[in-house]
Amino acid sequence: MSRPELQAPPEIYYGDTEAKKYTKNTRNQQIQAEMTHRALELLNLPEGESAFLLDIGCGSGLSGEILDEEGYIWAGVDVAPSMLEVALEREVEGDLFLQDIGQGFGFRPGSFDGAISISVLQWLLNAETSHPTSSPPHRLTRFFTTLHSALRNPSRAVLQFYPSSDDQIQLITSIAMRAGFGGGIVVDYPNSNKAKKVFLVLYVGGNGLQQVPQGLTGEDAEGADDSVRFERRRERERRRNEAKGKRKSVKDRDWILKKKELYRKRGKETVPRDSKFTGRTRKPTF
């Protein structure tokens, strides 16, 4: 089967039917969750602290759900309206923007504490027209230049993608470096066709002292993958338990009012009115 990015632009490929089909697929949900957790590990944010993250190519919010679970605030951008519609229907927590990342971002400098992207960069490698501004180098340059500006100093961006050749990896990496980033490629399970994953780990600032992390390896990639997932899950549970006392409960009155206001701005009907009973603690029933 042909790769999706070779069949049609993402805003066309992910129409209403495909967007819902992709989101409901349990295998897609599992893969998206695993790669998002891995991207957060490579992002290496301080434990127990909140952060404002950018989810590039957020789609229907599958990655955003993981960011919510980990206690992060996030904003997502995607070029496919149908994907964002599904995200709205699922009532994801992040702010959503319809954006062609190949045209660059319009965020204020230093807006985000970090950025992640899952399975998106390869979509920028196909020219949609013969116009020079549609060429992959031009689109990648706009993308990396404006992403560098949108990230605070110091910070990281972790971008997982599916290259079809080493030349594509070289093109992407060289343009990112020219845009001002440091960093490089991290490959998990390089000897496995099925388990292999490629991440571009980029640094803003840090005086060039940051080192690119090592990729995951293993003789038995499938078995190693299961083991690593188990260990990561146990580590995440430990970190969450330790941080419970450090983070404010997300279901208090302020959280409820903020979410209701967000729904009103999005035009959602039947949002309950605010009252003195909003977010009250109910007495236990026996």
- pLDDT by residue (tens digit) across 91-145? 999 999 999 999 999 999 999 999 999 999 999 998 666 566 789 999 999 999 9
Quote the pLDDT of residue 268. 74
Quote the pLDDT of residue 249. 46
Q: Domain with 127 in it: what CATH number?
A: 3.40.50.150
Taking the C-alpha atoms of residue 123 and residue 108, their distance in angstroms, rounded to an integer, is 25
- Indicate if the pLDDT at residue 89 is higher than 90: yes
281 domain-assigned? no
266 domain-assigned? no
275 domain-assigned? no
- pLDDT by residue (tens digit) across 195-243? 999 999 999 997 655 789 999 987 555 555 555 565 566 666 666 666 6
Quote the pLDDT of residue 228. 58
Mean pLDDT for 234-259 is 66
Nearest to 210 by CA among 161, 171, 154, 163: 154
Nearest to 36 by CA among 64, 4, 59: 64
For residue 114, list its beta bridge partners: 53, 156
Taking the C-alpha atoms of residue 38 and residue 112, their distance in angstroms, rounded to an integer, is 19
- pLDDT by residue (tens digit) across 135-193? 999 999 999 999 999 999 999 999 999 999 999 999 999 999 999 999 999 999 999 98
Mean pLDDT for 251-259 is 77
256 domain-assigned? no
267 domain-assigned? no
Percent of the chain with pLDDT over 90: 65
Task: Specify burial of residue 219 (Cβ count, 10 A radius: 0-12, 13-18, 19+).
Answer: exposed
201 domain-assigned? yes
- Mention every residue, 6+ apart, whose C-beta is less than 8 A from residue 170: none
- pLDDT by residue (tens digit) across 53-86? 999 999 999 999 999 999 999 999 999 999 999 9
Quote the pLDDT of residue 20. 96
9 domain-assigned? yes
Q: Are 52 and 113 contacting, i.e. CB atoms less than 8 angstroms apart?
A: yes
Query: What's the structural domain count of the chain?
Result: 1
Instruction: Find the domain containing 121 and state its range.
Output: 4-247
Counted residue by residue, the chain has a size of 286
Quote the pLDDT of residue 224. 52
Phi and psi at residue 27, in whole multiples of 5°? -65, -45
Residue indicated by tokens 């990655």: 63
Quote the pLDDT of residue 271. 81
210 domain-assigned? yes
